[in-house]
Amino acid sequence: MDTLHYLDGRLHLEGVDLRTVAAQYNTPCYVYSQAQLTANWQAFDQALGEHPHLICYAVKANSSLAILQQLARLGSGFDIVSGGELARVIRAGGDPAKVVFSGVGKRHDEMRAALTAGIRCFNVESSAELYRLNALAGEMGLKAPIALRVNPDVDAGTHPYISTGLKENKFGVDIDEAVSLYRQAATLAHLEIKGLACHIGSQLTSLAPFLDALQRVLTLTQALAQIGITLQHLDLGGGLGIRYRHETPPTPHDYGRALLAELAPLPYEILLEPGRAIVGNAGILLTRVEYLKQAPDKQFAIVDASMSELLRPALYDAWQEIIPVVEHATPAKTLFDIVGPVCESADFLGKQRSLSLHEGDLLAICSAGAYGYCMSSNYNSRTRPAEVMISGAQTHLITRRETLDEMLARECLIDLQPIEDAHATQPRT
């Protein structure tokens, strides 16, 4: 993260001392760098040069309105997987004509909303979806623009929970069945074939799986051309990884150069759907040490953030760097498990971290911009944290901290008659 740095032993994001953010907005708190977010998106946009392309940010990585607003201002497209994400994109000023709709379980109401908005393309993931979309578009007197999302059976070499391109995964249609499904789509009066889509997984750190999948996609385009089906675009998905610890993922420039080596002579617009690679290293999670606890075999630093705010470590056993906001003058370090207050043994943010810590210290959990706030929950009746955007020396509150009243507002007490005698409710034999 280029915009995160120490100045006189104090951690800054862009031009802001993070102690002031904690003081003003309390902790836990997500903090993002506008400059880093912008640079990351532009790196993808520039990587494809003058070749026709559209960078469609994967909204699921972080769907906060101000994040989407900044990307919309840059000219970004958006990859959505729900009607709620579409509503967020529109609320943030995104152009529906730059939206592609992926996901295996699109509901009738979500399809209607997308058709009404005039999105760019539906990435269809099953035969059943194909026929449902055709029927709905017919009812509305429209033609639905589609691409089939194919599953190329390529091992992305990533965590099994974020692998999407194997036969065993729920995503997409088997690439061997794609020609038959395209034939069917071509006969349906209310569908318009626009392209072909493929996405094989997330947090990829090698170009080889991308290029393997691309070769299979190009073989398929040739087969489609032979039956008279021409495509306008290839949606090659997202999934480029970021550096959390020791990873050395390709840069967007390397990725773009490899794609153009194969695609530059061909008449296809390129769509990419990066999410984590745009927002992941643009954000941190600020947290405060509440207690230091000595156990027989280890030391715990109990912080005010938890799996309710950042689920990735518990869900994926993910590693994220944890650093002090203030560097101590005498940095005698100890190995700590950084854990939260939630009543689960899986509630950890980092294990065996060498740190110099005191109660009350602030910590920054790095690379927390993706799959952080958007996966947060109210587990243990914890209110969700604030989100702050930093722009130069300015801070902007983009999501205020949830209050207890807001958390409880949707719930209802009901008027039930008291049960005087529990035995009276039992059926007689």
- C-alpha 73/C-alpha 67 separation (Å) is 10
From the list 163, 167, 174, the residue with the least C-alpha distance to 199 is: 163
Give residue 348's Cα distance to chain centre. 21
Q: Using CB atoms within 10 Å of the CB of residue 295, give its burial: 0 to 12 exposed, 13 to 18 middle, 19+ buried.
A: exposed
SS3 (DSSP) at 135: helix
- C-alpha 348/C-alpha 355 separation (Å) is 16
Cα-based angle 177, 180, 182 (whole degrees, multiple of 5): 105
Catalytic residue among 29, 56, 343, 412: 343
- Dig out the tokens for 357 from the structure: 């810590």
- C-alpha 413/C-alpha 429 separation (Å) is 34
Amino acid in the structure at residue 183: R
Question: How far is the first Cα of the chain from the last one, in angstroms, to the nearest whole number?
Answer: 70
Q: What is the DSSP letter of 202?
A: S
- Dig out the tokens for 171 from the structure: 């995503």
Helix (H) or strand (E) holding 386: strand 386-391
- Dig out the tokens for 428 from the structure: 């007689």
- C-alpha 389/C-alpha 399 separation (Å) is 9
Q: Is the dihedral of CA 32, 37, 39, 44 positive or negative?
A: positive
Q: Is the dihedral of CA 108, 371, 68, 49 positive or negative?
A: negative
- C-alpha 233/C-alpha 105 separation (Å) is 23
Residue 343 among the catalytic residues: yes
DSSP 253-317: HHHHHHHHHHHTTS--EEEE--SHHHHGGGEEEEEEEEEEEE-SS-EEEEES--TTT--HHHHH-
Within 8 A by CB and 6+ apart from 273, the residues are 56, 57, 58, 79, 100, 102, 199, 235, 236, 237, 238
Positions marked catalytic: 343
